[in-house]
Amino acid sequence: MPSPTAQRPPFALDERCKGRLLARLEQAAKRSRAGAAGTLASLTVELGGAVDPSAVVFASRGESEPWFCFEQPDRGGRALGTLGEALDLPAAGERRFSDLASRWRELTGRAVGEQADGSHAAGAVAVGGFSFAPDGGGSPHWRGFGPARLLVPEVSLARADGRTTMTLAAFVQPDDDPTQLLERLAARAEALRQEPLPLLDPAPAGRFEVISAMPPEHYEQAVARATELIRAGRMEKIVLSREVQVHAPRPYDPAAVFGVLRAEFPSCFVVCAGRGQDALIAASPELLLRREGQRVSTVALAASMRRSADPAVDAHLGEQLLRDPSYREEHAIVAGRIERTLRPYAVWVAAAPEPGLARIANIQHLATPIRAQLAEPIDALELAGIMHPTPAVGGEPLAAAAPLIPALEGLDRGWYLGPLGWTDAAGDGEFCVTLRCALLSGAVARCYAGGGIVRESVPEKELAETEVKLQALLPLLSG
C-alpha cells in the first residue's frame, strides 16, 4: 500500500474531462453495437507538476495487475509508465510480429480518442515484448510472458520534452455501460499516487546463493564447438548465452532494483515488465529501432570490453576494442546485416563510416548508429519483426545459427534478447533489445549474459566477457 506521506500530483479528472471521457465511451459503445466488436476508447490529459511516471507505477500498482516502465534518462528524461490492461494481445509463432501489427492497426483504426501527435507515447499505446525464439518463453519461470504479448494499458503516463500526459483507456464491448466504465476509470485516476522509489537495502541480512544454471565449463565447451562449426564454414557468427541464478533470503523488490539501475545506467534503456509476482528488469544499451514517421533509427552494438576506474587504462582498453581484428569482424557482421535488412524498405540507409565506443558503467561496446528513411509506411511492430534478431543476438546467417543456439546453450531464453517496448496509434514506437536483464520471481533472480562467437573467439575470454556483463545486475541482486 502507498505510504501516508505519498505526494499526490493532480491525477484526478475534473468535470470537464469526465464529460469528454463519457462522450468517447458512449461513442465507442455505439460503434461496438453496430459492428459487434469491441472498440478502444481513450482520453489524454496534460498533467501539471513534477511527475515521475515510473514512481507513480510502482506506488500505485495492484498485486495482480501487469505494469510496464520504459525510460532512457539521458535522452531528455523520456519515460513511459503503464498500469493495468484494457486489452491483452498475445501471439506466437513466426508471424507473431505481423499478427500483432495487424491487430493493433485494426484496433486503432476504429478507436475513439486523440490522434497521435508525434509526442513520445502520448495517447493510446500498446506495450510489451517478444521472446527471442518464435515459440520461446515456454518454461514455467516465463509464465505470463510467452512468445509475444502486448497490453493496451488502462493507465499510461508519458513524459518527454518537459511535458507529461496521462491516458486512460477502456476496451468497450457492445453490452458495456459507459457510465460504469467512466466511474471505474475516474476512480483509478483518483487513486494514483507518487512516492520516491524505495532504496535497496545496502546490507541485507541472510544468505545469498549464486548458481550457474549450467556449469561454466559448459559455456566454454559450447564456444569451442561453435568456433569449430564456424571454421568448417557452417556460419560466420553465433551468439551464445548463459544463465546465472541468485537465490535471495527474501523476495526482491523490483522498484528498488529499478531505482538503482536508473541512477547507475542513465544512458541505457531502463525497463521493467511486471506480470503479477514476476518482473523482467533490464538496463539495456541496445536500441533495436525507433520509428518516428518515416524515419527509423537503430544502432549496431557488438563486441565488448571491460572498463577501468583508471582513465589511462580505460582509454587503452577502448583503443584495444577499436583495433582488435576479431572484435572488428564481430561488429562488421552485425552492422552489415542491419544495413542490408533495412535497404529494401528504405529510400536511403546511412551508417557511420567507422564504429565508435558506447561506454556505460562497467562495460564498453563498439557501436555504429544507423538511420533510414522509409520508402513506404511500415509501423514499429512490423519493423521489429523485420529486424529481429540481428546478428548481435542471433547469428549470421541466421538460418544456420538459429537451430544451434538452444542446442549449444541448453536454456530457454524467453524474452532475453527479444524486443521490448511500445507503439502508438500512428505506428511510431521504440523497442530495445532485452539484454543486461534479470527475471525476478519472488526470491529468485535469473540473470542472463552472452557474447558473439566468431572464428577467432577464445572460450576462456568469452566466459570472462559474460562475467563482466553480469556485473551490471549481479552486485545489486546478490547482496
Catalytic residues: 237, 286
Q: Per DSSP, what are the bridge partners of residue 271?
A: 70, 282
SS3 424: strand
Q: What are phi and psi of 196, to 5 degrees?
A: -60, 145
- Spatial distance between the Cα atoms of 142 and 31, rounded to a whole number of angstroms: 37
- Spatial distance between the Cα atoms of 297 and 372, rounded to a whole number of angstroms: 7
- Spatial distance between the Cα atoms of 136 and 417, rounded to a whole number of angstroms: 11
Q: Which three cell numbers stand for residue 350?
A: 546511412
Q: Measuring CA to CA, how many Å separate 414 from each of 100, 137, 146, 406, 462?
A: 18, 4, 7, 11, 22
Grid cell 552489415 in the structure block, residue: 336
Q: Which three cell numbers stand for residue 125?
A: 499505446
Q: Which three cell numbers stand for residue 159?
A: 513524459
Q: Which three cell numbers stand for residue 28?
A: 465507442
Asked whether the beta carbons of 53 and 79 are under 8 A apart, the reply is yes
- Spatial distance between the Cα atoms of 140 and 79, rounded to a whole number of angstroms: 30
SS3 415: coil
Residue 336's CB is within 10 A of a number of other CB atoms, namely: 15
Q: Of 318, 331, 317, give the one whose Cα is nearest residue 368.
A: 331
Which residues, in sequence order, are CB contacts of 314 under 8 Å at separation 6+? 307, 308
In the chain the first and final C-alpha atoms are separated, in Å, by 25
93: left (phi over 0), alpha (psi -120 to 50) or beta: left
Grid cell 472498440 in the structure block, residue: 39
Alpha helices by DSSP H, listed for 192-292, are 216-231, 254-264
User: Helices 15-35 and 178-191 meet at what angle, rounded to 10?
Assistant: 140
SS3 229: helix
Q: Measuring CA to CA, how many Å separate 474 from each of 60, 246, 279, 478, 479?
A: 27, 8, 16, 6, 9
Asked whether the beta carbons of 71 and 269 are under 8 A apart, the reply is yes
